[in-house]
């Protein structure tokens, strides 16, 4: 068996230990005589799976008691509508910082349900930086301020959170959840599609402060009401059982093999530093993002020559370094180095880049 190093922005590679555990438990989950894929979501045994997943997530992220954890479907993208339908209910206003396509999509979707306002944007420079904001820029009547904490496509992240005063901060953490510790109490709502850093596609985690789970807009479909899912402990309807189970294995790995989010952060910093240091010293390759806003998870870079970029992507793929082509809006390359990417994979990439540089400069 030969496995590749998958630098895709998502779905992404998972630790081999997690995949092996899933394989071991495939036919018989803990003596139940069945796979998690087959069992009733109303069974005691599945209840233990979802309870353990939630307890591990709460422990690892330090989620306070007054927040609910929801396991939903519909991907990160459904949250773009679900958030305004449930939260834009007092002043019907919300402020957005536009740091890339995902934030823009969330903004456009919210505009359908209320007065969404773009407070700042980095579109002028292809979203290669995080715009500076101060408290006075935000509407203190807004129902929330929305940000995308890590910008998957462009490779930027917030290193300092915007000061929104008493207005709840809502953040898309799809591509950075569990990559490092995060102070949940600073947010009103956090959400993440699992397929980048937490598990397989199919489950979306929402972490919401209880006082924000109010009465949604009248038009809100039942399945889009946080209250319905909170009241039913994510079991209003059939949840994505197997995806939740794989998330549980990922969380166990994070806790037991890695030793928690502080350790995960150190490992992620080590991986990112390896690549950034090389980019900063390379004569051929260069990073595309403002240094102070660099992401730990998604690292875009270019040679400045489209043909050379294409050749690099092709040859990297032939050397088991796959899915390294950049997003079409940025071009060049992008290495996504989520939790599941081992240090060895990044080392192999840097070695390959050095060799390519020698051959082409």
Ligand X SMILES: *Cc1c(COP(=O)(O)O)cnc(C)c1O
Contact residues toward ligand X (CB under 6 A) are 10, 75-77, 102, 148, 152, 172, 174-175, 193, 196
Residue, CB closest to ligand X: 75
CB of 356 to ligand X, least distance (A): 27
The SS3 assignment for 95 reads strand
Has 286 been annotated as catalytic? no
CB of 75 to ligand X, least distance (A): 3
**CB-based contacts of 228, cutoff 8 Å, min separation 6:** 222, 236
Has 93 been annotated as catalytic? no
Residue 176 near residue 296 (C-beta atoms within 8 A):
yes
Nearer to ligand X, 76 or 300 (CB): 76
Nearer to ligand X, 77 or 126 (CB): 77
CB of 19 to ligand X, least distance (A): 21
DSSP state of 336: E
Which residue of the set 95, 104, 143, 172 is catalytic?
172
Cα–Cα distance, 348 to 335 (Å, whole number):
12
Has 135 been annotated as catalytic? no
Nearer to ligand X, 8 or 315 (CB): 8
CB of 304 to ligand X, least distance (A): 26
Cα–Cα distance, 289 to 209 (Å, whole number):
33
Which residue of the set 68, 95, 102, 293 is catalytic?
102
Nearer to ligand X, 138 or 146 (CB): 146
CA angle 284, 287, 293 (to 5 degrees): 165
Backbone angles phi, psi at 231, to 5 degrees: -60, -30
CB of 172 to ligand X, least distance (A): 5
Q: State the maximum Cα–Cα separation within the chain, in Å, rounded to a whole number.
A: 63
Cα–Cα distance, 235 to 233 (Å, whole number):
5
Cα–Cα distance, 108 to 80 (Å, whole number):
9
Active site residues: 102, 172, 196
């Amino acid at each position: 068996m030969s496995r590749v190093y998958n630098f895709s922005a998502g779905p992404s590679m998972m630790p081999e230990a997690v995949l092996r555990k899933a394989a071991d438990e495939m036919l018989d989950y803990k003596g139940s005589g069945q796979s998690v894929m087959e069992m009733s979501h109303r069974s005691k045994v599945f209840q233990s799976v979802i309870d353990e997943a939630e307890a591990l997530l709460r422990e690892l992220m330090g989620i306070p008691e007054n927040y609910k954890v929801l396991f939903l479907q519909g991907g990160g993208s459904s949250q773009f509508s679900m958030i305004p339908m449930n939260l834009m209910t007092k002043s019907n206003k919300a402020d957005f910082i536009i740091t890339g396509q995902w934030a823009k999509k969330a903004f456009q979707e919210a505009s359908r349900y209320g007065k969404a306002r773009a407070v700042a944007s980095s579109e002028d420079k292809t979203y290669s930086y995080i715009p500076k904001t101060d408290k006075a820029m935000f509407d203190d009547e807004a129902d929330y301020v929305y940000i995308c904490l890590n910008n998957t496509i462009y490779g930027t992240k917030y290193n300092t959170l915007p000061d929104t005063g008493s207005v709840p901060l809502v953040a898309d953490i799809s591509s950075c959840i569990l990559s490092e510790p995060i102070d949940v109490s600073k947010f009103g709502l956090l959400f993440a599609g699992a397929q980048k850093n937490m598990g397989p596609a199919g489950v979306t985690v929402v972490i919401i402060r209880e006082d924000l789970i109010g009465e949604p807009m009248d038009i809100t479909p039942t399945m889009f009401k946080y209250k319905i899912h909170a009241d039913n402990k994510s079991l209003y309807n059939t949840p994505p059982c197997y995806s939740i189970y794989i998330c549980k294995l990922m969380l166990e790995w994070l806790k037991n093999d890695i030793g928690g989010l502080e350790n995960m952060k150190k490992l992620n910093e080590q991986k990112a530093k390896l690549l950034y240091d090389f980019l900063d010293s390379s004569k051929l390759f260069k990073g595309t993002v403002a240094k102070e806003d660099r992401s730990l998870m998604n690292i875009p870079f270019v040679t400045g020559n489209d043909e050379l970029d294409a050749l690099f992507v092709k040859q990297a793929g032939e050397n088991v370094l796959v899915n390294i082509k950049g997003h079409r809006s940025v071009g060049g390359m992008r290495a996504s180095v989520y939790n599941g990417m081992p240090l060895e994979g990044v080392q192999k990439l840097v070695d390959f880049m050095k060799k390519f540089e020698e051959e082409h400069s």
